[in-house]
Amino acid sequence: MNILVNYIDRLNNFLPKNILKFLGVYFLGILLLFVIPLEVFESFYNLETYSKEIISDFENTRTKLFLITVILTPLIETLIIQILLIREIYLILEAKPFKKEVYDKRTLLISIILSSLIFWGLHFYSFLYIILMCVLGFIFGLVYYFSATRNWRPFFPIFILHALYNLTVLFLDGAI
């Protein structure tokens, strides 16, 4: 676990300290390392990572699809999974409140891993999608970790990246 914390801290030092640059670099990383390879893999093997029925239910109302997928879902999931759950798991494991100035990185990382496992539990459209959502939940959890080392409120960077991710997937799948 300490090795993983060390690598994450190195990545944290590499990432820009400006929040807008951070979001840009992080989103570009998600695109290049996660979204695009997933789309290529999905089309090459003709796999469905999620149920197409979900999108087809909203095809008549693209505005509804946009509002639910890009605004409402990231808002709720970010608040519950990445913000409240990480803090509560940390509190249970450490038995003391999370403070930005003094926190145990190992415990925070364990909290992030556990929250990412719960995040995939909300996305059970297919086996491949479950694995991908666990990874994506961890990626969003890392934004929490990086925000904890800076003077940012973690909600906004996670919400923005989650919304951009959902928007990109909808766009690539031709849903909007």
Q: For 47-74, how does the pLDDT look when each residue is reduced to its tens digit (9 = 90+)?
A: 665 555 555 555 567 788 889 889 999 9
43 domain residue, yes or no:
no
91 domain residue, yes or no:
yes
29 domain residue, yes or no:
no
17 domain residue, yes or no:
no
49 domain residue, yes or no:
no
Residue 4: partners with Cβ closer than 8 Å, 6 or more residues away: 109
107 domain residue, yes or no:
yes
Domain that holds residue 161: 2-8+55-172
Q: For the chain, percent helix, then strand, then coil, each to nearest 5?
A: 75, 0, 25
Higher model confidence: residue 89 or residue 130? 89
Quick one: pLDDT band at residue 161, thresholds 50, 70, 90?
very high
pLDDT surpasses 80 at 145? yes
100 domain residue, yes or no:
yes
| Residue 112 near residue 122, CB atoms below 8 Å | no
The helix or strand, by DSSP H or E, that contains position 21, with its residue range, turns out to be helix 19-30
The total number of structural domains in the chain stands at 1
